Chain A
Amino acid sequence: AQSVTQLGSHVSVSEGALVLLRCNYSSSVPPYLFWYVQYPNQGLQLLLKYTSAATLVKGINGFEAEFKKSETSFHLTKPSAHMSDAAEYFCAVSERNDKIIFGKGTRLHILP
């Protein structure tokens, strides 16, 4: 069965510092992988997705993620954190029937 594991339920970085949110996946078939962002009391917004094309995926708001099959990872990065990046981030995987399964989420805190 497909699943994702997000390492670290909370991550704090200083404004202007590198953001790294970790995600490892488990899938019996080549997966499609996603990162979503959620602001308080709102729905989810798709940041980026990997659909078996380029392994380095660029998304909105300066975020990018790299698919590494050997490490079963799909970590999310951003070179320079901004205060507006503070939110909940979810890694997700889709394997079959187009269902998307989410990780438990990582709360990103930005320190001034």
Chain B
Amino acid sequence: GAVVSQHPSRVICKSGTSVKIECRSLDFQATTMFWYRQFPKQSLMLMATSNEGSKATYEQGVEKDKFLINHASLTLSTLTVTSAHPEDSSFYICSAGLGGARSYGYTFGSGTRLTVV
């Protein structure tokens, strides 16, 4: 079945530095991947839709310059949190699917716990 790998699972960084999170579809090609953010004991908030070979589509209120998304290949999307601050600390989860939610439902990565100190 479809497997999505997310790396790293945990990262601690200093305030002001940048962190890159990778999301890979291991056994399928994903033209679209999604990035979510989850605060403790809360739901997942869609941040952006990552489109292979084109610019990402960001949800309202999400800073494009702060959360850089690159989807350079059909199996890899990256989220870079630039100039990270403690308020960026959160659980970030990516998802990808073969034919979209209507066909398959999406497979989710195991998430990345980001802590900015």
Please report A residues at the B interface, Cβ cutoff 8 Å: 32, 34, 36, 41-46, 49, 51, 90, 94, 97-105, 107
Contacts and interface: CB of A to CB of B under 8 A. Distances in A.
B95 to A, nearest CB: 8
Contacts of A102: 36, 43-44
B108 A34 contact: no
Interface residues on B, range: 20 to 34
Chain A: interface secondary structure? strand
Nearest to A95: B101
Contact of B43 (A46, A98, A105): A105
Contacts of A46: 105-107
B108 A41 contact: no
Given A43-B110, A45-B108, 16 more contacts: A32-B102, A34-B101, A34-B105, A36-B108, A42-B110, A44-B108, A46-B106, A90-B44, A99-B34, A99-B49, A99-B101, A100-B46, A100-B101, A102-B43, A105-B42, A105-B43
B49 to A, nearest CB: 7
